[in-house]
Amino acid sequence: MLTLGIETSCDDTGVAVLKDEREVLCEYLSSQIADHSRFGGVIPEFAARKHLENLLPLINAALRECGIRGQDLDLIAVTRGPGLMGSLIVGVMTARAMSQSWRVPVIGVNHLEGHMFAPLVDAPDLEPPFISLIVSGGHTEIIDVEAFGKYELLGETRDDAAGEAYDKAARIMGLKYPGGPEIDRLAKTGDPHAFGFPVPLKNTDKVEFSFSGLKTALLWQVKKFQEKGDALPVNDLCASFQRAAVDALVSKVLLASRLTGRKRVAVSGGVSANSALREALKSRREVNVWLPKLSRCTDNAVMIAMAGRNAWVRNGCVSNDDVVPDPSLHEL
């Protein structure tokens, strides 16, 4: 079974062809980071235009590389939300048009379910039940995966997503967008205990996150240096911010594991690329942790193809008319 995956929910144009459940025949990703970083964040209108330019050439390249024609596909899986409306429209409408002309069924995929599948691509040994931490620029949540398609939200962030907090923290320190990888890099040579930033909601017995207070604590600290005219100890600030953010994420994963009795934990989303988070999670003996390879932590089409194929095998096909973009799609 050949599945074409398409991801255009934000600023990455992704295309991949998957054979059967998890054999990746090819994957392409066109990142717009360089285009958006000069604005300090993603400009939605600009992102949609870039998807328009990039998507068809990537699909053609993918089919060529796999030596197949569009008609040879068995399924097209496309992200239908959540995400930026303009970006989603480009992916969904392209997928629907190809579905009509090649007579191949199309399925709309929830981007979050896509992330949930990212650690599964290279892990045939990971089967439900497990708990899934999705930690990206738009979401921070823990889901109980009893079976594929049977999900329960255990808890999520009250305010900023973790990746959003990293991006805002980076901006406060004058670092470039996206802030997560920058802070991760600079933190490596900083002192994580230089500043006692609070670990948000660490001692509550609820699975929930909050990152806006941590970001504000960083802002006040930065202001103190600026008022005195002192240079910012950027590496120490990054390391201390990262210690608190990682501690918050790890403590809630452990809490969710205790509450559900599940030992298997799958982690995904852009922040799952964070080196300190990966190390901290892998070092905990209470849980077995699966992480995607680095290139599949952030948005990509392989995860969309795998999630779409899994849903299609589970539920069968929907009509083309059901595949509509939904920027605020949430519940899995």
Quick check: 136 binds Zn ion (CB under 5 A)? yes
Structure tokens at 174: 């004058």
Bridge partner list, 78: 6, 108
- Supply the minimum distance, in Å, between the C-beta of residue 196 and Zn ion: 31
User: DSSP states of 165-210 as a string?
Assistant: HHHHHHHHTTPPSSHHHHHHHHHTTS-TTSS----TTTT-SS--B-
Identify any residues that bridge with 28 across adjacent strands, giving them in sequence order: 15
Residue 62 binds which entry of ligand KG4, Zn ion, none, with Cβ cut-offs from 5 to 8 Å by kind?
Answer: none
The region of 74-82, 130-138, 140-148, 202-210 touching Zn ion under the rule CB under 5 A is 130-138
Adjacent-strand bridge partners of 265: 131, 289
Task: Kindly state the smallest distance separating residue 95's Cβ from Zn ion, in Å.
Answer: 18
Residue number, 144 or 164, with CB nearest to ligand KG4: 164
Q: Select from 140, 122, 116, 170 the least CA-distant residue to 311.
A: 116
Of the pair 155, 181, the CB lying nearest ligand KG4 is at 181
- Give me the residue label for tokens 């079974």: 1
Contact 261, 287 (CB under 8 A): no
Task: State the minimum distance, in angstroms, from the CB of residue 191 to ligand KG4.
Answer: 18
Of the two residues 251 and 272, which places its CB atom closer to Zn ion in the complex?
272
Binding segment toward Zn ion, per CB under 5 A, in 89-97, 135-143, 176-184, 321-329: 135-143
- Per DSSP, 243 falls in state H
DSSP string of 79-127? Answer: EEESS-HHHHHHHHHHHHHHHHHHT--EEEEEHHHHHHHGGGTT-TT--
Q: Which is nearer to ligand KG4, 136 or 221 (CB)?
A: 136
For residue 274, the partner it binds in Zn ion, ligand KG4, none, with Cβ less than 5 to 8 A by kind, is ligand KG4
Of 142 and 173, nearer to Zn ion (C-beta) is 142
- Contact set with ligand KG4 (CB under 6 A): 10, 136-138, 163-164, 166-167, 178-181, 184, 269-271, 273-274, 298-299
User: Which CA distances in Å does 5 have to 29, 116, 313?
Assistant: 11, 15, 15
Question: Considering CB distances under 5 to 8 angstroms, the limit depending on partner class, which of Zn ion, ligand KG4, none binds residue 271?
Answer: ligand KG4
When the beta carbons of 181 and 325 are compared against ligand KG4, the nearer one is 181
Buried b / exposed e over 134-163, threshold 16 CB at 10 Å, is bbbbbbbbbbbbeebeebeebbbbeebbbb
Nearest CA to 140 among 209, 206, 41, 42? 209
Smallest separation (angstroms) from ligand KG4 to the CB of 136 = 3
Q: Which of Zn ion, ligand KG4, none interacts with 105 (beta carbon under 5 to 8 A by kind)?
A: none
From Zn ion, ligand KG4, none, interface partner of 108 (C-beta below 5 to 8 A by class): none
Among the listed residues 299, 312, 323, 332, the single contact to Zn ion using CB under 5 A: 299
Residue numbers of the site for Zn ion (CB under 5 A)? 136, 299
